[in-house]
Structure 1
């Protein structure tokens, strides 16, 4: 390390990496407590204990918490700049025999050559400029940098306004930490008259396809929405297979039409999202019998950059209607061929395509069954005790809702299920946005002229990130419509729509240089991350809080 600050960041990162804070485990809670304990021992926070805290996530089965701390500058201003990052990491199963070394930077870097490596990884090892281990890049370096910056700025406090650090769990799962932090940030801003003038989320920059290295600063983050197709068929005995409607046919046709369909890719200034992919497809029949299934479901990963809810739901409804028509046409054709081949004249039940949204049927069910909410709450408690994930619970909620619905006929019910990540893009639409963008542009010039590093300003971070929860780019009515179709909204999934409409924090994603996130070859570049990135952070902070 070239200086004391860099060494402090490295030492803190090494301690953080040694905490196996795998997402979805109690280790997240343990790590949060250790991080809080470390910050609470900083002299400034010992004297100003009201400026550091650890907040529990309400109703979290793992009792997780997020950590925050604020340093007030010598000169008063309501401007408050936030440094944020997540403390959780993904699992280490792919490390094989090196799993015991995955959380030890020194051992992992020394022994990584025991694994099968590609040419790029071997080249990086030989250079001596990279360290290996779970969380080195994603994102214990970013956390360490933020922690050491808040400590350093707490000593002289030679800035105007407030510098805040926010460390959250759950980013690698459903962003439970950031979702819970949004109402807290809004409450804090009201009680202390803070104005959030900007945020850096310390996710690493990774090489894009064809690049050998990556020094990028992202001014937007891709969104993610998960449409669910719940298909209701018409049950029949296998001896009368031509007289029913197997819902597996409906979900299969939906999958054929939607999987990798480029029409559902979003495009902004040359940045294109990958087409949708099916994350799960299943029928809901629990036990074997010679009766056809009644229900089947599938849900998909759809990524967005600017696409609005109205167009998306309309496109999904059209696709579902086409799938239904295709299935019926196929069945009619097979019925006719069967009768012609075997010279039989049979009467078959016909079905008309029916595509509805979840909010459509929910409204009618609630009107008829006044105790519907308490009924579903009891069911959710049972499903949670069975340790079902949010997605499975959402499918069950739709099933229960349909079974109380008046019209018993084949149909496709379209909804969205957790998690939902709004797309974000820092626009110069107001004074705060313009000011932050101006400082960002100057910091890139500073990096080029003073640090001799070319940092590319990039429109979108294409990995899902907590930047999605810094405001809403959609219109309010559009978001309200979308949220009404998120199954389990405000029960299994707390999406702070009202708070996000009010908070609107300008945000960038910028951190160290990493490679192979979520792989056993995850690694962090030392020279750029430790010698360049901290200087750019300080430049941005001092120019925002002045």
Structure 2
């Protein structure tokens, strides 16, 4: 069989395993990948070069897979091929949900669902396959597995080719975060020098592109601010005598949701504006009393913005939202007073905005046993299977309830996960060398394959590239972590490892469309015929 056929068949097998993020299916997928890699003769003869490592304290007992092929010529130079094995859910597939993981059946029947013009044309063309995970990113996994198999035969390179396959990318990147300490240990024990990483995520069309042929040298970052609003309770029969936190959080949402003011820009790129991921009040049972607490958290993308600039903008927004809510309430009190001829008492409430670290500091000063108390609470919430974001909201509530100065306020914090933005710059020898190899590969694509691959500054889908290192002199990261709820209790960034693991990375894979939608699909001619040749060229250029 041809290499293209092997990749296609491998991809079909991988897609058929519904490795939904945040489920035990991720472990089943890891089992399958490890078993198939171990069948490669090179790894049977070199079992010390392949392994499966458990993620510490992971309730789902997930693991990541690694494999190393040593070239015929010894060298510390090591290139990593990486990708994630998990996928998102399939609820949106409707009556085709049962075949969402069957490439050929899903492709054959996808037209039974409502398709836009572009998806309908692609379905008719015969050049695209549909199904969950085809583009994001079982093709990338299949390609990497077949490449590691191919290079294990001739080993016609100098240095080391490493395969890293991780779970959890679609949730909290638990796999990549756990892999960092391992990769540093591997580097130390074997005297490796990591000269680059390629993450095999697909490229996605921009503007009017029919098919995307892009290589990304940066990845967008992500930060999630949580606004915890404390109101003043009142009876529904006296609704104007308090302040409903739902009014406060709604005003925050009006100001922040999809606001271009909070789109970050760098190198000619701009991020999509923020979006609310969850908005709620925390009243658990029905009563005729107004809620005391409401909360909302947001997805905010970054390209270059530092944390100090970010948190100041969030504080300014919260003050504006609080002021607007009070002004709104005052106007309504005056309007009701005129209509009813009843004098409404105007109680003085002033906007109060604090960061979580400020509240936490005061609470810890008053309650020496606070950390132990909170750890016990967190364990209860974990046993109840609450996600990290819900636990974070509960932590802020618990902290505020121990805070002595009870009054309406907005508490701003950061909740997990956090993704640093990443950009490949030729700032050191490895980055310069890796970038030269990337440029050579792009030139090879254009001159030899007549393919114009567009070098793009940022991959706008969140990716594990964020965890391939941060600047060692980035002092704002410490301030960010001080405002992160439950840091070191429910979530931890391996900061020291990130500072020591700063390696150049690109995102490059097949061409896909509509990731996370029922019309997710992969272009076969480009992905199978062109991309593997460019991978081979890049690998041999880096490890020459």
TM, length-normalised to structure 1: 0.96
The match for 2:146 is 148
CA contact (8 A) 1:422 1:473 kept: no
Q: 1:122 to 1:292 in 2, by over 3 A?
A: closer
Q: Is residue 48 of structure 2 the alignment partner of residue 40 of structure 1?
A: no
Q: Is residue 32 of structure 2 the alignment partner of residue 60 of structure 1?
A: no
CA contact (8 A) 2:307 2:480 kept: yes
The match for 2:438 is 440
The match for 1:175 is 173
Q: Is residue 194 of structure 2 the alignment partner of residue 196 of structure 1?
A: yes
The match for 2:80 is 82
Q: Is residue 535 of structure 2 the alignment partner of residue 545 of structure 1?
A: no
CA contact (8 A) 2:472 2:499 kept: no
Q: SS of the counterpart of 1:356?
A: strand
The match for 1:391 is 389
The match for 2:14 is 16
Q: Is residue 219 of structure 2 the alignment partner of residue 217 of structure 1?
A: no
Bigger drift between 436-445 and 345-354 goes to: 345-354
The match for 1:465 is 463
Could you tell me how far 1:204 is from its partner in structure 2?
Answer: 0.7
Aligned pair partner of 1:240 in 221, 238, 241:
238
CA distance in 1, matches of 2:216, 2:196: 14
Q: SS of the counterpart of 2:296?
A: strand
CA distance in 2, matches of 1:152, 1:500: 31
CA distance in 1, matches of 2:84, 2:127: 24
Q: SS of the counterpart of 2:485?
A: coil
Could you tell me how far 1:316 is from its partner in structure 2?
Answer: 0.5
Deviation string for 1:475-513 (max 9, x for gaps)?
521011111111121221122222111111100000011
Q: Number of residue pairs matched?
A: 544
CA distance in 1, matches of 2:533, 2:14: 22
Deviation string for 1:229-284 (max 9, x for gaps)?
00111222233322222211211111111112111001123311111111111111
Aligned pair partner of 2:474 in 469, 473, 476:
476
Bigger drift between 523-532 and 235-244 goes to: 235-244
CA contact (8 A) 1:284 1:295 kept: yes
Q: 1:329 to 1:100 in 2, by over 3 A?
A: closer
Q: SS of the counterpart of 2:206?
A: coil
After superposition, where does 1:317-466 map in structure 2 within 5 Å? 317-345=315-343, 347-466=345-464
Could you tell me how far 1:423 is from its partner in structure 2?
Answer: 0.8
The match for 1:160 is 158
5+ residue gaps, structure 2? none
Q: 1:249 to 1:125 in 2, by over 3 A?
A: closer
Bigger drift between 215-224 and 53-62 goes to: 53-62
Q: SS of the counterpart of 1:226?
A: strand
CA distance in 2, matches of 1:369, 1:195: 48
The match for 1:269 is 267
Aligned pair partner of 2:487 in 470, 489, 497:
489
Deviation string for 1:79-114 (max 9, x for gaps)?
111000011111222222322322222222223233
CA distance in 1, matches of 2:45, 2:364: 53
The match for 1:29 is 27
CA distance in 2, matches of 1:109, 1:241: 56
CA contact (8 A) 2:203 2:215 kept: yes
The match for 1:136 is 134
Q: SS of the counterpart of 1:327?
A: helix
5+ residue gaps, structure 1? none
Could you tell me how far 1:31 is from its partner in structure 2?
Answer: 0.5
The match for 1:528 is 526
CA distance in 2, matches of 1:342, 1:122: 60
Q: SS of the counterpart of 1:207?
A: coil
CA contact (8 A) 1:178 1:466 kept: yes
CA contact (8 A) 2:203 2:509 kept: yes
CA distance in 1, matches of 2:331, 2:512: 55
CA contact (8 A) 1:424 1:473 kept: no
CA distance in 2, matches of 1:265, 1:51: 44
Q: SS of the counterpart of 2:541?
A: helix
Q: SS of the counterpart of 2:416?
A: coil
TM, length-normalised to structure 2: 0.96
CA contact (8 A) 2:221 2:421 kept: yes
Could you tell me how far 1:341 is from its partner in structure 2?
Answer: 4.6
CA distance in 1, matches of 2:293, 2:81: 46
CA contact (8 A) 2:223 2:419 kept: yes
CA distance in 1, matches of 2:36, 2:181: 25
The match for 2:110 is 112
RMSD: 1.6
Q: SS of the counterpart of 1:418?
A: strand
CA contact (8 A) 2:166 2:175 kept: yes
Deviation string for 1:336-385 (max 9, x for gaps)?
44445544445443112111110111122222222212211111111122
Could you tell me how far 1:335 is from its partner in structure 2?
Answer: 3.1
Q: 1:338 to 1:186 in 2, by over 3 A?
A: same
Could you tell me how far 1:402 is from its partner in structure 2?
Answer: 0.8
Q: SS of the counterpart of 2:87?
A: coil
